[in-house]
Chains A and B, each alone.
Chain A
């Protein structure tokens, strides 16, 4: 990553073309966990246990700042979150990308993508200007590592 580039989360409900860029106002994390179990039973003192993976899971958590008085964002980011809140069990396509350019809307390269469901959405200390949303997306199916060198434009608010 070069100086001046940002990492962003791009979200779109499945079957929707428009992606929303979710900036990491404070933090964004991708967290993967593997469930393991012993692959063999040993009963001799001092044996070294062996394990195997039985399932994989992941979640994406973060906080996104939405400036409610910014018209350009009102048409994109805030309605998007309100729209998301109204959905139940919606599957989202997500991408985590390195971005640059005007308002960081040009994808330089993709780190990973997949599908997820929103399991938590919290509005933090709203005031006249800003609301920060904390969100949790639970992975739905596999994570797919991205490919480098994309350079495409993405839509919507910061």
Chain B
């Protein structure tokens, strides 16, 4: 009745929603998308100014990923809601 299948490969993805108020960031997202090349991506705890300093937490991981989807919602006057999706390529490694 029930299938019994083996896991033959791994893949991963990531998705993040942000509010952007700097147009340079929006242009960077577009540039990253049209380059169609893997970018470095990290998953970590952060601290410091604007929470931008990775802490290399025990659970931290890093890898390479393709931007496979982005949405910019121009709903507000001063901010743009963005959603970015990444398709991991290769493994996720410890930092």
Q: A and B: partners?
A: yes
* Secondary structure of the B contact surface, majority rule: mixed
Chain B's closest residue to A33 (CB) is: B69
On chain A, the residues within 8 Å of B87 by CB distance are: 34, 36, 51
In angstroms, how far is the closest chain A Cβ from the Cβ of B71? 5
A79 at interface (Cβ–Cβ under 8 A)?
no
* Secondary structure of the A contact surface, majority rule: strand
Chain B's closest residue to A145 (CB) is: B27
In angstroms, how far is the closest chain A Cβ from the Cβ of B13? 10
- Determine whether the beta carbon of B90 is less than 8 Å from that of A48: yes
Interface residues on chain B, number (Cβ under 8 Å):
39
On chain B, the residues within 8 Å of A44 by CB distance are: 8
B26 at interface (Cβ–Cβ under 8 A)?
yes
- Determine whether the beta carbon of A48 is less than 8 Å from that of B9: yes
Whether A3 touches B77, Cβ cut-off 8 Å, given contacts A34-B69, A46-B10, is: yes
On chain B, the residues within 8 Å of A36 by CB distance are: 66, 68, 87
- Determine whether the beta carbon of A34 is less than 8 Å from that of B68: yes
Please pick, from A39, A96, A145, the residue contacting B89 in the complex, using a CB distance under 8 A. A39
- Determine whether the beta carbon of B74 is less than 8 Å from that of A28: yes
- Determine whether the beta carbon of A27 is less than 8 Å from that of B73: yes
Please pick, from B7, B26, B71, B90, the residue contacting A46 in the complex, using a CB distance under 8 A. B7
Q: How far is the CA of A147 from the CA of B23 in the complex (A)?
A: 10
Q: How far is the CA of A101 from the CA of B36 in the complex (A)?
A: 37
- Determine whether the beta carbon of B23 is less than 8 Å from that of A111: yes
On chain B, the residues within 8 Å of A1 by CB distance are: 21-23, 77-79
B70 at interface (Cβ–Cβ under 8 A)?
yes
- Determine whether the beta carbon of B8 is less than 8 Å from that of A45: yes
What are 28 A-B contacts defined by CB distance under 8 Å? A1-B21, A1-B77, A1-B78, A1-B79, A4-B77, A7-B77, A7-B80, A27-B73, A27-B75, A28-B74, A29-B72, A29-B73, A31-B69, A32-B30, A32-B67, A34-B87, A42-B8, A45-B7, A46-B7, A48-B88, A48-B92, A51-B11, A51-B87, A51-B89, A56-B33, A56-B34, A112-B27, A145-B27
A binding-site residues for B, Cβ under 8 Å: 1-7, 24, 27-34, 36, 39, 42-53, 56, 62, 96, 98, 109, 111-112, 142-143, 145-146, 148
